[in-house]
């Protein structure tokens, strides 16, 4: 038996689940798990269906489902396959280290095809784990040329997602628009608090008692894209900004790991500037 996922989003209406399951039954697909959610404010229906069975033509199944759904429907039939990702970095190693170790031991749920850095700090580490590292200098060229060089490298791989693992450069709208909802960033604060640079310094000066990390999809609005996962940790008046940053590194790794797991397993729907996550 083949396993596959069916992802559907459409306008909500009476009889949707019955109609969907009827089509799946006609294709001799057995439903293993089905999660659904209705966003009542937008009148939108979302479902993730795990099935077993054999589908000879996925496009035909998608078209049959689209015919019985309401307007503006999206249907994706996902055959089980490992996804490919690229990782963009600057100098900090903790998030990259977690990704590459799990990639090495085949527990990431994806293959890291390459690492691209705007400094060479992490080159030796990546290559020790047999992952190609490409250095793209941001200091000897303008942003357009810098991003074009990165894009040329990424284009040589068939990528599903790009992960910004502490990549401390702001990407242009033209770059982001080439990868809609495909760029995942780890931001070192509990968004929407402390957007932009030096969030731990901002948190220290504000005297907060909780710091956090946020994994989100990248959009043209800095650190305001749809949030995938967040975590927090308690701090107190004895923590300075450096100690907050140290405490934050562990949750940064954990949040990015959790977000990637959810995205790579096709558990995340993007609806406007929000996500629906079927955990």
Indicate the CATH number of 83-277 among 3.40.50.1400, 3.40.50.300, 3.40.50.170, 3.90.1150.10. 3.40.50.170
44-83 pLDDT per residue, tens:
999 999 999 988 889 999 999 999 997 789 999 998 788 9
Angle at 253 between CA 273 and CA 106, to 5 degrees: 100
pTM: 0.90
CATH level 3 topology of 2-79: Alpha-Beta Plaits (3.30.70)
Alpha carbons 64 and 77: distance in angstroms, whole number: 12
Position with higher pLDDT, 57 vs 264: 264
Helix (H) or strand (E) holding 133: strand 133-135
3-state secondary structure of 94: helix
Where along the chain do the CATH 3.30.70.260 domains lie?
A: 2-79
Active-site residues, by number, are: 223
Q: What is the pLDDT of residue 197?
A: 65
Are 216 and 225 within 8 A, CB to CB? yes
228-243 pLDDT per residue, tens:
999 988 887 888 878 7
């Amino acid at each position: 038996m083949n396993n596959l996922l069916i992802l559907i989003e459409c306008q909500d209406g009476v009889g949707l689940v019955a109609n969907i399951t009827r089509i799946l039954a006609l294709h001799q697909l057995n439903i293993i798990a089905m999660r659904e959610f209705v966003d009542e404010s937008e009148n939108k229906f979302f479902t993730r269906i795990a099935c077993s069975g054999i589908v000879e033509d996925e496009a035909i199944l998608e078209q049959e489902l689209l015919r019985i759904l309401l307007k503006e429907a999206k249907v994706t039939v996902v055959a089980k396959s490992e996804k490919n990702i690229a990782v963009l970095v600057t100098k900090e190693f903790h998030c990259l280290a977690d990704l590459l170790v799990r990639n090495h031991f085949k527990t990431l749920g994806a293959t890291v095809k390459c690492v691209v850095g705007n400094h060479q700090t992490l080159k030796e580490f990546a290559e020790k784990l047999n992952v190609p590292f490409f250095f793209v200098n941001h200091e000897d060229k303008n942003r357009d040329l810098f991003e074009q060089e990165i894009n040329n490298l990424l284009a040589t791989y068939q990528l599903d997602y790009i992960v910004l693992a502490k990549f401390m450069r702001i990407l242009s709208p033209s770059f982001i628009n080439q990868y809609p909802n495909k760029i995942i960033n780890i931001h070192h604060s509990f968004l929407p608090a402390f957007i932009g640079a030096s969030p731990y310094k901002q948190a220290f000066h504000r005297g907060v008692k909780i710091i956090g990390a946020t994994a989100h999809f990248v959009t043209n609005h800095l650190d305001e894209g749809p949030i995938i996962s967040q975590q927090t940790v308690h701090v107190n008046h004895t923590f300075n900004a450096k100690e907050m940053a140290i405490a934050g590194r562990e949750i940064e790794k954990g949040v990015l790991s959790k977000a990637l797991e959810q995205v790579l397993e096709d558990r995340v729907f993007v609806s406007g500037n929000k996500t629906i996550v079927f955990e």
